[in-house]
Amino acid sequence: MPRFFIDIASENIAWPEIVIKGDDARHIARSLRMAVGDEIIVCDKEANEYRARLTKIRDEECTAEILDSFRATSELPVCVTLYMAFPKGDKLETVIQKATELGVGRIVPFESSRCIKRPKEDKIDKQLQRYRRIAEEAAKQSGRALIPEISAPMSFEEMLKDATALKKAIFCYENETEHRLGKIISSLCEGEAVSVIVGSEGGFSPEEAARATEAGCLSVTLGRRILRCETAPLFVLSAIGYQLELLN
Q: With CB under 8 A, what is the number of residues at the site for a copy of itself?
A: 37
Angle between helices 124-142 and 91-101 (to 10 degrees): 30
Residue 222 is a binding residue for a copy of itself (CB under 8 A): yes
Among 78, 82, 181, 198, binds a copy of itself (CB under 8 A): 181
**Rg from Cα positions in the chain:** 20
Least distance (Å) between residue 114 CB and a copy of itself: 17
Residue 40 is a binding residue for a copy of itself (CB under 8 A): no
Residues 213, 201: Cα–Cα separation, whole Å:
21
Smaller CB separation from a copy of itself, 129 or 238: 238
Residue 1 is a binding residue for a copy of itself (CB under 8 A): no
Least distance (Å) between residue 157 CB and a copy of itself: 29
Residues whose CB falls within 8 Å of the CB of residue 69, separated by 6 or more in sequence, listed in order: 48, 49, 50, 51
Show the site string, 94-123: x = touches a copy of itself by CB under 8 A, - = not.
----x--xxx--------------------
Residues whose CB falls within 8 Å of the CB of residue 205, separated by 6 or more in sequence, listed in order: 112, 113, 114
Least distance (Å) between residue 145 CB and a copy of itself: 10
Scanning 67-75, 116-124, 153-161, 187-195 for contacts with a copy of itself by CB under 8 A, the matching segment is 67-75
Least distance (Å) between residue 144 CB and a copy of itself: 6
Least distance (Å) between residue 50 CB and a copy of itself: 18
Smaller CB separation from a copy of itself, 10 or 248: 248
The dihedrals phi and psi of 210, each to the nearest 5 degrees, come to -65, -45
CA angle 57, 63, 65 (to 5 degrees): 125
Least distance (Å) between residue 115 CB and a copy of itself: 19
Least distance (Å) between residue 60 CB and a copy of itself: 30
Number of CB atoms found within 10 A of residue 240's CB: 24
Residues 98, 213: Cα–Cα separation, whole Å:
28
Residue 182 is a binding residue for a copy of itself (CB under 8 A): yes
Residue 189 is a binding residue for a copy of itself (CB under 8 A): no
Residue 84 is a binding residue for a copy of itself (CB under 8 A): no
Extended strands (E) in the chain: 3-5, 13-14, 17-21, 39-43, 48-57, 61-71, 79-85, 106-110, 149-150, 168-172, 193-198, 218-220
Q: What is the separation, in whole angstroms, between the first and last Cα of the chain?
A: 29
Instruction: Specify whether the CB–CB gap between 63 and 20 falls below 8 A.
Output: yes
Footprint on this chain of a copy of itself (rule: CB under 8 A)? 73-76, 98, 101-103, 141-144, 180-182, 185-186, 221-228, 231, 234-235, 238-239, 241-243, 245-248
